Structure formats: structure tokens, C-alpha cells
């Protein structure tokens, strides 16, 4: 994350920003929330539609069980309390991409409430300075369709509608207005996405719209209890842009207030190219939507038994996993944070660490040899030429004495230079092995001659001393003797 706060110190000395976020995540079900149409992204417009999601008269919604399970899973991962009974409600408004004239959502009885996310307040993530951001609610709803303004014949004069997205299941996650800077908002979104990705209920792909964020922002004079008038920023498609948009809005609010003006409660659109927001419409109040309970759906009941079944699916979450990796592999908190940034990366690391003869060595190589080279090249760990499997292989080679630490460093350098994984580099560049038994025997004799004490121990029954001799012989051969041969020949000589 960027570290330089873009807001001036003068502004921050006088005013305190207050930010709350509404995040929509698309749940990864195969079919829509109230019908069996496919949710696949990128299909030809209006091919995944049926009477239910088109809102034709007489069609009735049937709730998708999987969508409920995914939403409950997300809510649990966000430490929410699941309401045993929640109610679907109609949110009425007119828009061309909403064929029914209302959206089925949840209103005063949402699926889940009272959660939180812990964010790190400092960049290094090491001194344990954390803040809890409250999650007001998580509810289920259906998505609307999409208006298309380009990519078809009459695009200059007409708008087309694609209803494939209508009825795709969403979880809306509403935070408390607990954030006090654009950085905190950025950090909250990063953590939220990480947690949702771990649960596997959404791919959180912002380009495809499966994670969308609206931000509510206001400022108030420091020391004042009540909030200032807020504006809502919509249509922002990256976390970085959200931070920019918030900075822009906070400065705009300050200028309006300082010049004696009043902030209008309104919805504003962010234009990423210009880095500015523009007023779009005055913000609706909840009563404008004339919410009422959806008469075509029964109350949603998630009883204790069902909840238990769902919770059994909950994987270890990033925060817990970081703590465990630190304890189990002795790596730093910073490296644990990097290695747990995605579930697949953490899985790869652990797979490599446990498959290798010495897990700690894998962790040390990641920390000592891999991270530094990635940083020098400006690469993320997902872009590393050396895979976790490669790291595990190299760890075993060092462990068995087949290569020295020095050779490992050289091979890592080559891997980064050529952009090839470790096994490929090793195949081509591995040190010439000494497989001539005569030469190895000569080295063995020398080592035995200079180690009378260890020889006595060995012959006195302490067979483990053989590893000392193996080490010495490997060292004498500069890591080039074939380890299997060394072991075989040594055993014979020592018994002799």
C-alpha cells in the first residue's frame, strides 16, 4: 500500500474523516439465486434468462440453497451473528435493467449482523497495532442486469440491456462508519477480500464485477460527536481508486465547508481518468424504496443444525493461519503475512514445507533466499520464477548434502536471471557429481584418518556418527560427491 497520505496535515488537524463501506460480492453458485439460469460470466447477452429472472407475470422465485450456505459461510468468517430467521423484502425502484420493477433483497431482518474485521494500522504489520471495524450486517440479494453503452450497432444513440446478470446472488456487506482515513478503508477492503477469498464463496474479481464497493464519506470538526453530511461514491473499480476517490471527496468537503457552503447528501460517480467525483443524483432515503416483505418467499430459516453443517466447511482463516505459520515454522510475521496473502499460496508453502525433509529449511529459504530476490526484481510472490515445489526440492538437496549453500545461491540467481523454475535450472546446471568410487574412497580414507575419536564412537555402537562422516566427505568433495555412493562406501569402510 502507498504510504504517503495524500491529505494535508492542516486538513487532518481540523477535520476528522468518517468512512463506511458497502461491499457487494457475487457468490460463486452455478445458478442464480431464485431460478436455475446459469451465472456464467461472458455468455452472449440475454441467453441466461427465464420467466423468473425476467420478471414475467406469474413466475415464482425459488431460493437457491447454495447461495444461503455461501452467504452464511462469509458471514461466519466475518464474525457475524447469524439470524435464525431472516426475511426477504422487495426494494422498489424503476430502472431499465430491473425488469421486475423491484429487487429482492433483505431489509430489517437480514441474514447476519454484528461482525467485524481487524485491520493493521501500520504498514509493517508487525507491532500488533490493530483496529476493529464493525460490520453492521450481511444480507442476501439478487443482482440487477447491465446497461450496455458500447460494443453494438446503434451504440451511439441507444442503450442495450443484458439481463444475464439479473438474479445472480450477491452478499452485501455493510460496515459501520468506523474508518477514519482512506488508508483504513483500503486496509479494510484488502482484509475483507482476503477473508472472502479464503472462504471460497466468491472470486472477488473486480474487473468482472464480482466485488463492488460503494463508499460513504463525511467529515466533522475534530472533537464533534455528530457526523457531518455524507456523500456516497459509486462506480469505483479498484481499491486504489477507492482510496483516491475518498481523498478527493474529503478535500472537496473541506473546501465546501471552509468556504461557508453546505454538503448535499448525494450519490457521486468517480471518474478514474480525471481522478474526480461528480454529483449523479440526490441520495435516496430508505423510505423511497417502499420496502415490504416479499410475499412469494417464506422467511429464511437457518437453524442450529444447518448452521453447524455450514460451519464445518469453514477453512482456517488468514489471521489464524498467520499465527500458526509463525509458531510452526519459525518464520517472521511479515513473511507469514506474505505467504498467507492467498489461500493457494499458503497451501503451496505448507505442502512444500511438509513434503521437504526439513520444513524449517523451506521456511528459511523462502525468507532468506526467495523474498530478497523477489523484492530486488519488484515481483510479487505469485510471479516468482521459483515455485514452492522448487524451493522444497532445493531444500532437500541442501539437506542431503547434494549441493552446498553456495551452489544453491548460484542456482537461485540463475533461476531469476532466466525466469525458469529451480528443477529445470538444477537439471541443466547441477554440479558435476563425483561418481568414481575410487576417488570417493580416497576422500573417505582421509576423513577417517583425521577423525579417530568419531571412529571409536562409531565402532563402540553409536551408529548415528555416520552422519558426521557423510558431512565431512561431502565437504571435502565440495558438495560434488554422489551422496548415495558416499553413504554406501562409508558404511563399508567404517564396519571394516
Residue numbers at the binding site for Zn ion (CB under 5 A): 35, 37, 50, 52-53
Residue 53 vs 73, nearer CB to Zn ion: 53
Question: Which residues lie across from 293 on neighbouring strands?
Answer: 89
Q: How far is the CB of 44 from Zn ion (least distance, A)?
A: 15
Residues in the chain: 496
Residue 169 vs 479, nearer CB to Zn ion: 169
Residue 53 vs 82, nearer CB to Zn ion: 53
Q: How far is the CB of 200 from Zn ion (least distance, A)?
A: 24
From the list 353, 350, 421, 333, the residue with the least C-alpha distance to 383 is 421
> What is the number of helices (H) and of strands (E) in the chain?
18, 16
Q: How far is the CB of 66 from Zn ion (least distance, A)?
A: 15
Q: How far is the CB of 34 from Zn ion (least distance, A)?
A: 8
- b vs e for 208-225, b when ≥16 Cβ sit within 10 Å of the residue's Cβ? eebbbbbbbbbbbeeeee
Residue 56 vs 85, nearer CB to Zn ion: 56
Q: Tell me if 182 sits within 8 A of 18, measured CB to CB.
A: no
Q: Tell me if 117 sits within 8 A of 191, measured CB to CB.
A: yes
Q: How far is the CB of 48 from Zn ion (least distance, A)?
A: 7
E strand or H helix that includes residue 215: strand 211-221
Q: Measuring CA to CA, how many Å separate 8 from each of 5, 15, 187, 222, 309? A: 8, 11, 20, 15, 50
From the list 216, 333, 193, the residue with the least C-alpha distance to 265 is 216
Residue 28 vs 121, nearer CB to Zn ion: 28
Residue 50 vs 345, nearer CB to Zn ion: 50
Q: How far is the CB of 152 from Zn ion (least distance, A)?
A: 22
Residue 45 vs 134, nearer CB to Zn ion: 45
Q: How far is the CB of 101 from Zn ion (least distance, A)?
A: 17
* Integer Cα distance of 384 and 370 in angstroms: 8
E strand or H helix that includes residue 407: helix 405-418
Amino acid at each position: 500500500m502507498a504510504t504517503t497520505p495524500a491529505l494535508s496535515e492542516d486538513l487532518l488537524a481540523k477535520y476528522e474523516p468518517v468512512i463506511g463501506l458497502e461491499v457487494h460480492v457475487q457468490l460463486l453458485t452455478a445458478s442464480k439465486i431464485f431460478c436455475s439460469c446459469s451465472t456464467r460470466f461472458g455468455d452472449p447477452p440475454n441467453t441466461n434468462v427465464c420467466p423468473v429472472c425476467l420478471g414475467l407475470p406469474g413466475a415464482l422465485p425459488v431460493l437457491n440453497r447454495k447461495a444461503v450456505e455461501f452467504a452464511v459461510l462469509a458471514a461466519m468468517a466475518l464474525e457475524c451473528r447469524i439470524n435464525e430467521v431472516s426475511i426477504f423484502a422487495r426494494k422498489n425502484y424503476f430502472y431499465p435493467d430491473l425488469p421486475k420493477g423491484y429487487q429482492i433483497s433483505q431489509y430489517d431482518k437480514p441474514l447476519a449482523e454484528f461482525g467485524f474485521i481487524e485491520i493493521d494500522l501500520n504498514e509493517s504489520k508487525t507491532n500488533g497495532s490493530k483496529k476493529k471495524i464493525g460490520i453492521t450486517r450481511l444480507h442476501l440479494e439478487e443482482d440487477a442486469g447491465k446497461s450496455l453503452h458500447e460494443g453494438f450497432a446503434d451504440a451511439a444513440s441507444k442503450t442495450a440491456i443484458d439481463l444475464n446478470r439479473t438474479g445472480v446472488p450477491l452478499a452485501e456487506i455493510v460496515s459501520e462508519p468506523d474508518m477514519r482515513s482512506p488508508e483504513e478503508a483500503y486496509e479494510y477492503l484488502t482484509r475483507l477480500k482476503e477473508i472472502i477469498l479464503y472462504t471460497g464463496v466468491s472470486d472477488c474479481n473486480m474487473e468482472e464485477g464480482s466485488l463492488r464497493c460503494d463508499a460513504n464519506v463525511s467529515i466533522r470538526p475534530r472533537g464533534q460527536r455528530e457526523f457531518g453530511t455524507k456523500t456516497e461514491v459509486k462506480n469505483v473499480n479498484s481499491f486504489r481508486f477507492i482510496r483516491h476517490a475518498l481523498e478527493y471527496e474529503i478535500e472537496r468537503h473541506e473546501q465546501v465547508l471552509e468556504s461557508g457552503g453546505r454538503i448535499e447528501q448525494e450519490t457521486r460517480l468517480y471518474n478514474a481518468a480525471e481522478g474526480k467525483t461528480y454529483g449523479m443524483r440526490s441520495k435516496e432515503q430508505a423510505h423511497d424504496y417502499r420496502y415490504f416483505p416479499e410475499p412469494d418467499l417464506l422467511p429464511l430459516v437457518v437453524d442450529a443444525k444447518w448452521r453447524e453443517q455450514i460451519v464445518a466447511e469453514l477453512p482456517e482463516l488468514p489471521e489464524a493461519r498467520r499465527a500458526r505459520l509463525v509458531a510452526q515454522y519459525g518464520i517472521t510475521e511479515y513473511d507469514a503475512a506474505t505467504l498467507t496473502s492467498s489461500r493457494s499460496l499458503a497451501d503451496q508453502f505448507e505442502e512444500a514445507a511438509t513434503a521437504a525433509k526439513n520444513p524449517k529449511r523451506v521456511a528459511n529459504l523462502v525468507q532468506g533466499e526467495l523474498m530478497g530476490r523477489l523484492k530486488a526484481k519488484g515481483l510479487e510472490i505469485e510471479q516468482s520464477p521459483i515455485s514452492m515445489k522448487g524451493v522444497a526440492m532445493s531444500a532437500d538437496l541442501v539437506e542431503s548434502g547434494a549441493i552446498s549453500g553456495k551452489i544453491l545461491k548460484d542456482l537461485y540467481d540463475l533461476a531469476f536471471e532466466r525466469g525458469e523454475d529451480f528443477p529445470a535450472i538444477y537439471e541443466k546446471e547441477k554440479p558435476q557429481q563425483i561418481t568414481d568410487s575410487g576417488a570417493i574412497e580416497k576422500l573417505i580414507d582421509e576423513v577417517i584418518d583425521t577423525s579417530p575419536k568419531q571412529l571409536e564412537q562409531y565402532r563402540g555402537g553409536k551408529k548415528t556418527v555416520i552422519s558426521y562422516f557423510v558431512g565431512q566427505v561431502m565437504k571435502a568433495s565440495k558438495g560434488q560427491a554422489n551422496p548415495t555412493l558416499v553413504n554406501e562406501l562409508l558404511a563399508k569402510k567404517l564396519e571394516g
